[in-house]
Amino acid sequence: MSTPNTPDTPNTRTAVVTGGSRGIGRRVVTRLAADGLAVVVGYAGNQVEAEAAVKEVEAIGGRAIAVRADVADEHAMAALFDTAEQTFGGVDVVVHAAARMPLAPLAELDLADLDDLHRTNIRGTFVVDQQAVRRLRPGGALVNFSSSVVGLAFPNYSAYAASKGAVEAMTLVLAREMRGRDVTVNVVAPGPTATDLFLGANDEQRVAQLAAQPPLQRLGTPDDIAEVVAFLASPAGHWVNGQVLRANGGII
């Protein structure tokens, strides 16, 4: 775990971002920091990238720490949130971006991969959300991640899409359970986005096909998705609640 580069103040808004060392989560970290939030970068194992994310935040004058924690381990996640509160004084935004994405036809997917995916994508979301709703201060926001593939039904994505369908269901229920708390709960469901995870899971031909599908005729970028998250996390987005935002450039 790293330490913050400057002393904190009581009025700092703080974000916890799981999966914050790479991809969309990494861009969310720097985008929220640019809005003045202190950020806890949650990561599973890549300490080098997590510390690099912290340095990016510090380079723009922000504050961040990196904390290693398995999102599906309730004790580890409780400790991460404890650290956020002890370091920055509280938690105002939680962005749960950590996920697995093994791809194969349903008939061929190894069930061990299915179990690992469910542990991270479903149990992990449940565990992170439990901590979020226990800790978020009034005016706060919880943002989970789904995927537009839930509706697009691409071949080879059955397990991943099923897990993200579960994320959408629990998030929409949770938004209603938070009545009276002044905390918003939403899901961002990106379409094909140019991350290492996506590019590593698809060959060049498939990437080109997916990039041609949106009317905007390109893949999404981590910046595109981070802007949506930043809006939902901001006071300007606080009237958006209990929604699935399909940020995919118009694929239908």
Q: Which residues are catalytic?
A: 160
Q: What whole-number distance in Å separates Cα of residue 20 and Cα of residue 139?
A: 22
Q: What whole-number distance in Å separates Cα of residue 36 and Cα of residue 54?
A: 14
**Do 210 and 156 form a contact (C-beta atoms < 8 A)?**
no
- What's the one-letter identity of residue 5? N
Q: Quote the tokens at residue 137.
A: 């201060």
End-to-end CA, the chain: 42
Q: Quote the tokens at residue 65.
A: 């720490």
Among 158, 251, 248, 156, smallest CA distance to 202 is for 156
Q: What whole-number distance in Å separates Cα of residue 240 and Cα of residue 223?
A: 20
Q: What whole-number distance in Å separates Cα of residue 102 and Cα of residue 93?
A: 28
Q: Quote the tokens at residue 170.
A: 């629990």
Q: What whole-number distance in Å separates Cα of residue 194 and Cα of residue 23?
A: 8
